[in-house]
Amino acid sequence: MKKLRFGVVGLGMGKGHALGYQSHLQAELVALGDVDEQRLCAAADEMGVPETYTDVKAMFAKANLDAVSLATPNKFHAPLTIAAFKAGLHVLSEKPMALTVKEAERMLAASKAADRNLMINFSPNPSRDGDGAALQALCSPSAWRAGRSVTVAARIGCAYSKEQEP
């Protein structure tokens, strides 16, 4: 089976995505992107990824990717997601999806227009940052009474890391 070619943008949290792709049998980590060149080179050396980009749109255009992980600061999630769709890539973006509902709607419209998937890495951890409380609020009877249609998709996952391999 053909391996999917992945890129990762933003190498804080994104390093976890990158390690995940490197440890997956059907994935190939092809390129890394970050505006911080020092951080970019350090991550690329550490993970042995030869292709690096400080200009993310150049990465989308040149790296021949199937999909990209976006782990940049929140304000870049919408514009970079839309740019990735325009380049024909599938997108896994870090949470939060966007800064406003309008931005989120533009991301969904771009996903539909490009016929590419958008996934948000929303990993609730009630003990850490209150995300669990937000999910509970969405699922609460008062949310239903407000007459809003809410779809909640949940997954149980783990962060991949080479250190965790047996």
Ligand X SMILES: NC(=O)c1ccc[n+]([C@@H]2O[C@H](COP(=O)([O-])OP(=O)(O)OC[C@H]3O[C@@H](n4cnc5c(N)ncnc54)[C@H](O)[C@@H]3O)[C@@H](O)[C@H]2O)c1
Contact stretch for ligand X (CB under 6 A) within 7-15, 110-118, 135-143, 145-153: 7-15
Quote the least distance from Cβ 30 to ligand X, whole Å.
Answer: 16
Helix axes 77-86, 101-114, angle to 10 degrees: 10
Establish if 12 lies at the interface with ligand X (CB under 6 A): yes
Establish if 41 lies at the interface with ligand X (CB under 6 A): no
Of residues 73 and 166, the one with the C-beta less far from ligand X: 73
Q: Candidates 22, 27, 28, 39: give the one binding ligand X (CB under 6 A).
A: 39
CA separation for the pair 33, 60 (Å, rounded):
10
> Three-state SS string across 32-86, please?
EECCCHHHHHHHHHHHCCCEEECCHHHHHHHCCCCEEEECCCHHHHHHHHHHHHH
User: How far apart, in Å, do the first and last CA atoms of the chain sit?
Assistant: 25
Interface with ligand X (CB under 6 A), residue total 20
Q: Candidates 29, 33, 60, 89: give the one binding ligand X (CB under 6 A).
A: 33
Helix H segments across 64-146?
77-86, 101-114, 126-129, 131-139, 141-145
Contact stretch for ligand X (CB under 6 A) within 17-25, 65-73, 81-89, 99-107: 65-73
The strand pairing partners of 4, in sequence order, are 27
Quote the least distance from Cβ 119 to ligand X, whole Å.
Answer: 12
Establish if 94 lies at the interface with ligand X (CB under 6 A): yes
Establish if 37 lies at the interface with ligand X (CB under 6 A): no
Residue 124, preceding bond cis, omega within 30 degrees? no
Which residues are near ligand X by CB under 6 A?
9-13, 33-36, 39, 56, 71-74, 76, 94-95, 121, 123
